[in-house]
């Protein structure tokens, strides 16, 4: 049996940092990443056969838990029929129909293979459709690692303290305006300064790459008004929140708070692929028809709409569309956050948390942060100690305080209770 440490050393010889995505490396919290050998339901097992209750869920996609029988069956059948055709299939239509049925702001979508690709394509389309270059994004929001969006992003970058990435030419980044999240005055100033020059505003409506921060309702309302006034496309990055915080995504949550609310374009990933590489971007027909082969905006992909990935996504969406699915998931997620908060209170540890649907966040702070600066000001040292105390007790939380957490349908009340009991020991 290889140990996690032996595997990590071997990995570092052939893969930079030993990982294929930076935050997996545990650099923020220190220690050795766990090399996972298998997963079932709410649990992961590492190379040393230690079991963990999984609150990462592959960073969001595994909303049904691992190894759901209907999903595995769909994937196995699809694989037997062919891994990739590079030609259209009926299943792509079915998946597009299933997504569009839950997202009334979109009339059409295109399937791609990753959230990064979807965000990058949405951005190009927004620029092509408006004939404008400038874009707005918010500090602490992550939209994948396309050059123009890798400007003061959160997630792994925040972890490593890089304000931006090397290798992004200033000429590319200069069209990206970065504003503080939830700051109405800064938003108004940016729209005034760049009147009718902004192609789009891209936002995580509930930000999950600076832990868990909601866009306030007055902020979202004003954002919608300014975009409509100036002909700027409002792009919701729902790669994390889509089919996760509610069946209709974060936009359904905001539609409940702001009557008639709709973004102009949306980006999805993670849950819609159910654990396979699949993502999508979409909007109204007039914008989407600017894409090749109909229009002048080029976008393509060898594996886009892959038959196995679409089967996995479809099976996942079918399961989560069952009545009461989200109510039950939200209830368990709330129970987790309330349990952790109560345990922290008993130990007199400053702590607060929030959740929506099956997505949650918590902070070692007295009040919920409203922007990236406030997230950065929470107690990182305490978070790191808590992370390791929980990991030792078999609870797998995101290895950085800038990440949201996820509960799946496979997590039982007993799992939540056991996690809260572990947290009680950790806080003490």
Residues 108-127 that bind ligand PLP (CB under 6 A): 114-116, 119
Q: Residue 267, CB half-sphere, CA atoms under 13 Å: how many?
A: 30
**What does the DSSP assignment read for 196-209?**
TTEEEEEE-SEE-S
The answer to whether 263 and 251 are in contact (CB under 8 A) is yes
Query: 270, 372, 396, 415: which is the annotated catalytic residue?
Result: 270
Q: In this chain, which stretch among 46-54, 136-144, 394-402, 414-422 interacts with ligand PLP, using CB under 6 A?
A: 136-144
Burial 316-354 (b: 16+ CB within 10 A, else e): bbebbeeeebbeebbebbbbbbebbbebbeeeebebbbb
**Which residues in 201-220 contact ligand PLP (CB under 6 A)?**
204, 208-209
Q: Is the dihedral of CA 248, 254, 260, 263 positive or negative?
A: negative
Query: Can you tell me the distance from the alpha carbon of 335 to that of 126, in angstroms, rounded to the nearest whole number?
Result: 40
Structure tokens at 338: 């309330």
Taking the complex as a whole, the smallest distance from the CB of residue 237 to ligand PLP amounts, in Å, to: 5
Rounded Cα distance, 83 and 72, in Å: 15
Stretch that binds ligand PLP, among 36-44, 61-69, 137-145, 163-171 (CB under 6 A): 137-145
- Which of 240/287 has CB closer to ligand PLP? 240
Establish whether 254 is a catalytic residue: no
Q: Is 140 in the site for ligand PLP (CB under 6 A)?
A: no
**Which residue has its beta carbon closest to ligand PLP?**
115
Nearest distance from residue 361's CB to ligand PLP, in Å?
A: 13
Interface residue with ligand PLP, options 18, 128, 144, 248 (CB under 6 A): 144
Least distance (Å) between residue 132 CB and ligand PLP: 22
Q: Which is nearer to ligand PLP, 154 or 369 (CB)?
A: 154
Catalytic status, residue 54: no
CA torsion sign for 129, 134, 140, 143 is positive
Interface of this chain with ligand PLP, residues 279 to 338, rule: CB under 6 A: 279
Contacts of 357 (CB under 8 A, 6+ apart): 244, 245, 246, 326, 329, 330, 333
Residue 106: what are its φ and ψ, rounded to 5°? -110, 135
- Annotated catalytic residue within 43, 55, 137, 237: 237
Of residues 60 and 307, the one with the C-beta less far from ligand PLP: 60
Question: Which 254-273 residues touch ligand PLP, going by CB under 6 A?
Answer: 269
Closer to ligand PLP by Cβ: residue 118 or 129: 118
Catalytic option among 43, 55, 142, 372: 142
Q: CA of 113: how far to CAs of 9, 155, 269, in Å?
A: 30, 20, 8
Tokens found for residue 170: 């200033």
Q: In the annotation, is 142 catalytic?
A: yes
Instruction: Report how far Cα 352 is from the mean position of its chain's Cα atoms.
Output: 21
Residues 369, 211: contact at Cβ < 8 Å? yes
Give the nearer residue to ligand PLP in terms of CB position, either 208 or 305: 208
Binding segment for ligand PLP (CB under 6 A), chosen from 142-150, 181-189, 219-227, 373-381, is 142-150
Q: Which is nearer to ligand PLP, 74 or 240 (CB)?
A: 240
**What residues line the site for ligand PLP (CB under 6 A)?**
114-116, 119, 142-144, 204, 208-209, 237, 239-240, 269, 279
**Active-site amino acid positions:** 142, 237, 270
């Amino acid at each position: 049996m290889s140990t996690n440490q032996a595997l990590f050393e071997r990995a570092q010889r052939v893969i930079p940092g030993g990982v294929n995505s930076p935050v997996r490396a545990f650099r923020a919290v220190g220690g050795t990443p766990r090399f996972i050998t298998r997963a079932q339901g709410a649990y992961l097992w590492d190379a040393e056969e230690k079991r963990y209750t999984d609150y990462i869920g592959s960073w969001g996609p595994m909303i049904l838990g691992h190894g759901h029988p209907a999903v595995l069956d769909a994937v196995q059948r699809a694989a037997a029929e062919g891994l990739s055709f590079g030609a259209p299939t009926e299943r792509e239509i079915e998946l597009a129909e299933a997504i569009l049925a839950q997202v009334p702001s979109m009339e059409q979508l295109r399937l791609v293979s990753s959230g990064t690709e979807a965000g990058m394509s949405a951005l190009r389309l927004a620029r092509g459709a408006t004939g404008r270059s400038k874009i707005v994004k918010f500090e602490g929001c992550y939209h994948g690692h396309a050059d123009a969006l890798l400007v003061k992003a959160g997630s792994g970058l925040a972890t490593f303290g890089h304000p931006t990435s090397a290798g992004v030419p200033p000429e590319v980044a200069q069209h990206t305006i970065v504003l503080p999240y939830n700051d109405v005055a800064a938003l108004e100033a940016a729209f005034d300064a760049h009147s009718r020059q902004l192609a789009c505003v891209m936002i995580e409506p509930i930000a999950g790459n600076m832990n868990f921060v909601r866009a306030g309702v007055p902020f979202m309302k004003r954002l919608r008004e300014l975009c409509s006034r100036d002909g700027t496309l409002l792009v919701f990055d729902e790669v994390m929140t889509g089919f996760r915080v509610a069946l209709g995504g974060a936009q359904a949550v905001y539609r409940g708070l702001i009557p008639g609310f709709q973004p102009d374009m949306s980006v999805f990933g993670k849950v819609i692929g159910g654990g396979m590489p699949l993502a999508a971007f979409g909007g109204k027909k007039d914008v989407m028809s600017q894409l090749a082969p109909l229009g002048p905006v080029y976008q393509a992909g060898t594996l886009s709409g892959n038959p196995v990935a679409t089967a996995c996504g479809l099976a996942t969406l079918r399961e989560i569309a069952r009545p009461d699915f989200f109510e039950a998931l939200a209830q368990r997620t709330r129970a987790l956050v309330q349990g952790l908060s109560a345990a922290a209170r008993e130990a007199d540890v400053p702590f607060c948390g929030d959740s929506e649907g099956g997505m949650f966040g918590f902070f070692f702070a007295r009040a919920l942060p409203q922007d990236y600066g406030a997230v950065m000001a929470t107690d990182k040292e305490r978070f790191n100690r808590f992370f390791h105390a929980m990991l030792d007790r078999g609870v797998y939380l995101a290895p950085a305080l800038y990440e949201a957490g996820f509960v799946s349908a496979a997590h039982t009340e007993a799992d939540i209770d056991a996690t809260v009991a572990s947290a009680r020991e950790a806080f003490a």
